[in-house]
Amino acid sequence: MDKNASSSRTGGAATAPRPPDTPEAPTAVEGPVPARGSLTSGPVLRRALLDALRKLDPRTLVRNPVIFVVLVGSVLSTVVFLGNAGTTDTRGLVFGALVTLFLWATVLFANFAEALAEGRGKAQADALRAVRGSTTALVRRPDGTTERVPGTELRVGDTCVVSAGETIPGDGEVVEGVASVDESAITGESAPVIRESGGDRSAVTGGTTVLSDTIAVRVTSRPGDTFLDRMISLVEGAERRRTPNEIALNILLGGLTLIFLIAVVTLQPMAIYSQARQDTLVLVALLVCLIPTTIGALLSAIGIAGMDRLVRRNVLATSGRAVEASGDITTLLLDKTGTITLGNRQAADLLPLPGVSDDELAAAAHRSSLPDGTPEGRSIVDFAGARYPGLRRPGRISGVPVPFTAQSRMSGLDENGRLVRKGAVDAVTRWVRENGGEVPEELSRLSGEVSDQGGTPLAVAEVSGPDDPARALGVVHLKDTVKPGMRERFAQLRTMGIRTVMVTGDNRRTAAVIADEAGVDDYLAEATPERKLRLIRQEQDGGALVAMTGDGTNDAPALAQADVGVAMNTGTQAAREAANMVDLDSDPTKLIDIVQVGKQLLITRGALTTFSIANDVAKYFAILPAMFAAALPGLESLNIMGLQSAESAILSAVIFNALVIIALVPLSLRGVRFRPGSATTALRRNLLVYGLGGLITPFIAIKAIDTAVIALGVL
C-alpha cells in the first residue's frame, strides 16, 4: 500500500472541551424515541393484517411474479368453485372450497409477511413524525436583524439563532458558538452531545433540542428534504428499492414459475391421452405447490427486515444495495480522528527550540491560533492562556487571518509586517526557508519525540518584521486518545475476513503509533482527500469491496466512492450526504454490526431459497401420484408417504404450502444466525440444515395434515 501521501491535516474532527464558564449540561429529557416494539405487539399485528388486505391490489402484486401467479390461480379456482356450486357432489364441493380457501390464504400470508416486516418501520416513522412537529425559527437577516418565521419557510443558506430550550428548526451546520444538544429524538440516547462551529462536529439535525448556550445554524436542507424526513421515508419503506441480488433472484423465480406454468399447461393434454383428465382446481393446486411460493412470499420481507435490523442498531441505510454490499466487504478504511480516536486532539505541551523562551513560543502559538475556529486552534489558545495569564483572547482580532488549506497545511495571522504560522512541520519548515530563515535540526528531533508518543506535532514560526527572516520557534504537542475496545473490535473484524486500514492526515510516526495501539492491519499517513479516493479505487480495481467510515467534510469524496460509506451522525452535513449509511450513535465499531446484518441478510435469503426449492420435491411426491394413480396404478409406488386419497393428498400439500409461509415469517424477520467462518463452511451448513431440512420437513408435515384431514372427516 502506498503510504507516501502528500499532506497532513491540522484542522480536525475533535470535540472541544466545555468552556470553563459553561454549566454542566443537564441530562436530556427522554423525548419521543423511535418505536422499537415487538413485531408481535397488537398494534403492529393489526396494521399488518390491514396492510395485507390492501396489498391484494393486482397492481401491487404484479411486482412479485410468483405471488401474482398464485393470485391469478386463486381467482381462477374461485370461479371454478362457484361454477360447481350447484352440483350435488358434496365431497367435491368441500375439496374445492378448501383448496380455494388455502390458495387465497397463500396470497394473504405472503402479503402479511411483507406487511409485518414493514410494521416496525411504520411505527418508528409515526414516532419520528411526532418529533418533527411544527417549529418556528429565529432567522438572522444579512443586516443583523432577526425575524421569527415558520420552519416550513426556511431556505437553504438562512442563518437561524437557536438558544437553550429551543428546537433546531432544520438540518444545518453550526457557524457560531458551542452548545450541548439533545439528540434523543433521533438516536434514542439520552446523553447530550456537543455541537460547535468549525471542525467536524458542526452538523445539527432538525427536530433536536439545544440544552445550553446559544448557537447560530446555517440551514443546509429544504423543508421536506431534511434528514428527519428522509429517515421517515426510509424506515417505513416508502423509498425502498429492490437490490441487484433481489432483482436477480426475482428473475430466477419468475423463470422457474414460467417453466412450471408451461409444464402444468402441457400436462392436461397428456392426462387426457392417458384417460386421466384433471380438474382445473387440481392443476392450479399443482402449479401453486410446484412454483417457489415460499421464497417468493418471503423475499421482500427478508430485505425489509435486514434494513430494520440496522435501524434497531441506530444505523440508517439509505439503500438496500448498501446493506447487501456490507455483507461482502473485504476492506475497511477508517478515518483516525473522531473515528478510531476520541477526536479531541488538544494542546498538551509547548516545546521551544534552543534560544527561544517559553513565553515567546506561547505568545506566537496563541496569536497564530486566534483566528483558528477548529477545536485544536481553540485548545491552543486556552492552553497558552491558562499557562500564561497575560495571554487573553481579544474581543476583536486585528490583522489578516490566514486560514488553513489542504495545500498550505498551515494557518496563522498577519499584522503590521509580523507574520505567525502554525501547521504541519514540513509545511512550516518550507515556509521558513522560503522567507529567508534557517530551520535548526532540533525542530525535527522535537517533532519526532511528539510523534513517537502518538501525538501530533505542530510547528510554530514567525517573521518579526518586514525586513526580518522567518524563524522557527518550537512545537505544539497535540494529543489524541484511541477509543476503548478498538483493538478487540478490530480483531473481531479480522476473524470475519475484513482487513482494516486507518487513514489519517497525520505524519507517519504518529500514524504508526496510533495504528499499533488500535490494532489495525495497515495505515495510510499524510493522506489528502485525493489520496483517500485513489486508495479506495485501487482496492476496488483489485476486486475488493470497500467500506469507509468517516465524519469530516474531507471524507465526503471517499465516502461517496466506497461500496459502503458509513458517516458518523456527529460529522458534517457533507459527510452524511455522501454516505449511504449514517451511524446515529457515531460509533465506528458499529461497522461490525453492519457487516453482520449484511451477511445475515444474504445467508437468510440463501437459506430460505434452498428450503423453498427442497420443499417442491416433497410436494411433487404428494400431488403427482395422487393425480394419476387411478389411471396409472404403477405410480402408486411413488406415494411413499402413504397418503389416504387423491383429494386429501392435494389438499394437504396446498395447506402445507400456505402454512409454511407463516411458519417461516419469524425466521425471515429475525434472520438466520450468522457464524464467522469460510464460505465453504457456510454453504455446507446451509445445505445440511435448510436443504436436508427442507426436504424432510414437508414429508412429515404433509403426512400429519393428511392424517388430520381424514381423522376430522373433512373429506
Cβ proximity of 214 and 162 under 8 Å: yes
Was 645 annotated as part of a binding site?
A: no
Cβ proximity of 410 and 454 under 8 Å: no
Was 212 annotated as part of a binding site?
A: no
Cβ proximity of 182 and 29 under 8 Å: yes
Between CA 352 and CA 459 the distance in angstroms is 10
Was 551 annotated as part of a binding site?
A: yes
Q: Record the cell numbers describing residue 645, joined without a space.
A: 386419497
Side chain identity at residue 373, one-letter code: G
Parallel, antiparallel, or unpaired: how do β-strands 581-583 and 315-317 relate?
Answer: antiparallel
Was 105 annotated as part of a binding site?
A: no
3-state secondary structure of 195: strand
Was 490 annotated as part of a binding site?
A: no
Active-site residue flag, 335: yes
Between CA 386 and CA 584 the distance in angstroms is 35
Burial of 490 (C-beta count, 10 Å sphere; 0-12/13-18/19+): buried
Element (H, E) at 48: helix 42-54
Task: State the first-to-last Cα distance of the chain, in angstroms, to the nearest integer.
Answer: 72
Measured CA to CA in angstroms, residue 346 lies from 33, 481, 519 at distances of: 34, 10, 23
Listing DSSP states for 327-372 in one string gives: TT--EEEEEIIIIIB-S--EEEEEEEPTT--HHHHHHHHHHHHTT-
Listed residue (173, 169, 133) closest to 154, CA to CA: 169
Measured CA to CA in angstroms, residue 127 lies from 156, 167, 182 at distances of: 26, 16, 16
Was 409 annotated as part of a binding site?
A: yes
Was 143 annotated as part of a binding site?
A: no
Cβ proximity of 8 and 409 under 8 Å: yes
**Is the torsion defined by CA of 589, 592, 594, 595 positive or negative?**
positive
Was 408 annotated as part of a binding site?
A: yes
Between CA 302 and CA 64 the distance in angstroms is 14
Was 405 annotated as part of a binding site?
A: yes
Listed residue (373, 319, 341) closest to 564, CA to CA: 319
Was 398 annotated as part of a binding site?
A: no
Catalytic residue among 171, 182, 335, 480: 335
Q: Which residues are registered as beta bridge partners of 583?
A: 315, 568
Q: What share of the chain is helix, strand, coil (3-state, %, to 5)?
A: 50, 15, 35
Question: Which residues, in sequence order, are CB contacts of 5 under 8 Å at separation 6+?
Answer: 524, 525, 526, 527, 528, 531
Was 407 annotated as part of a binding site?
A: yes
Side chain identity at residue 139, one-letter code: V
Was 630 annotated as part of a binding site?
A: no
Was 411 annotated as part of a binding site?
A: yes
Listed residue (674, 703, 691) closest to 593, CA to CA: 674
Catalytic residues: 335
Q: Which residues are annotated as a binding site?
A: 372, 376, 404-411, 422, 551, 555
Q: Which residues are annotated as a binding site for ATP?
A: 372, 376, 404-411, 422
Q: Which residues are annotated as a binding site for Mg(2+)?
A: 551, 555
